[in-house]
Structure 1
Amino acid sequence: MAILQKPKSTHLVASARLCLDNGDRLLEQRYDLEFREPSATRFYMAMIAQEEFAKAFMLLLVRDDVIPFSSPVLRAMNDHTCKQLVGMIMDYVIMHWNQTDEFTAMIAADSALGEDRFPEDIGSALELLRYEKIGRWESRAWVWGEDPSYDKSAIAIAEGKRDRLKQDALYVRIGKDGRVVSTPDSCSLEDTKKEEDRAGRYYALVRGALEGGGQTYRYDRIVKALKFLFEHKL
């Protein structure tokens, strides 16, 4: 693995702030499109903003010595699917809930799993990011002794299915028979608002981390897991 010299913390923080501000700019500009239909451009901008916030989150993980600063990690910061996998992990850390019973259920599920285990989708997102993405860029001179069994939703993100939703919000997609497969018109307002809300939560998480705010206990679990995964040399 090509380990780069770790940048100064001030540089990492400054870069994370710029990513945060750029994502916030994208979310602000979407208001100019609030009453236009379809809402596809807003959907696209919200997902790009999410990726900027995920990049900022990764920069802070480097600052805190959770993950190394290497050429493959830097590549991951510029890779759409990697940032979307990081987004899955951020969703887990945030612990978003609307009803009290949802929060109670999350606590109970975490307690049942124990401190060193994750829900299947999050465990898979961590391993896909570490091994199938960053790990393959570090070296291809390794194979699994036994093929891993990853969660389908995490695999879908790693394979670019979520990114295709973003692309479909911007482009007309043509199928193998030459006919139109999808157009931006198919993007629903409900889905757009869902992604805008998600982007807002990512913003709050990164801003809190930059300002030294407290994190959920899930953040500590993620930090511990990532440190363990990246200590494993391929």
Structure 2
Amino acid sequence: MSGFRMTTLSTLSLCSFVIMWAIAAGSIGRPDLVPSPLQVVEALKGMLSSGEIVKATITSLGRVVVGYLLGGVAGVVTGIILGRITIIRESFSIIFDVAKGIPPIALVPVVIMWFGIGEMSKWLVIAYVVWVVVTISTLVGAKEVPLIRLRTAEIIGLGPLERLYRVVLPSVVPYALIGLRNAVGFAFVALVSAELIGANSGLGQIIMDSRFALQTDRMVVGIFVLGGVGAICQILFELMERLILARRFQTG
């Protein structure tokens, strides 16, 4: 019943949005500024038939996947190190606090200057944002490992690597998953920052080129596709997260 109710409310909300959008577009009467839903649908059809939007989506999604994997792995490792080794955490906390406050768009000009407008610059910008988000969450989990578990592991003779694998990592998993889940949305934010400034392909490039050409309908298509892909990735990750946690509790 709750699922049916959620679906109904979501459908009504979407329909209401489209109706208000159509009314606003008709009232303003400036399709170059506010295109109607029908204009956007027509633009989408044209971009689908030419394959432009599909190619751009695949390109952007590929960048997100690579940057996300790089940043996710680095974030889990950094979070565990900072969470478990006090001297390192205290020594580098100020540096990490500064890094957290740097928005991805501020890094784009520097990264482009160092690595050009190739794929590496996009991967690094996305990886940076994912790394920050995942590190914060994983660090909390690594610090919160129950002391009694660590002492028990020492008593039964487990070495440092065995304690890491059998005690620390299982305790960190839920926190790391939260960080990885939150990082999905941030990865797409970083993608837009990288593609809007320095890219010759991808959804961000379509949005920017459409802006310069005053093709607002194409720009809206790019924005909606970007949001839709991000939402789908978020949903898929949440499903995977539930499966991982369910299996963990069944085996633990």
Range into which the TM-score falls when normalised by the shorter chain: under 0.3
- Of structures 1 and 2, the larger Rg is shown by 2
- Greater relative contact order (CA < 8 Å, ≥ 6 in sequence): 1
**TM, length-normalised to structure 1:** 0.28
Q: Which has the higher helix share?
A: 2
**TM, length-normalised to structure 2:** 0.26
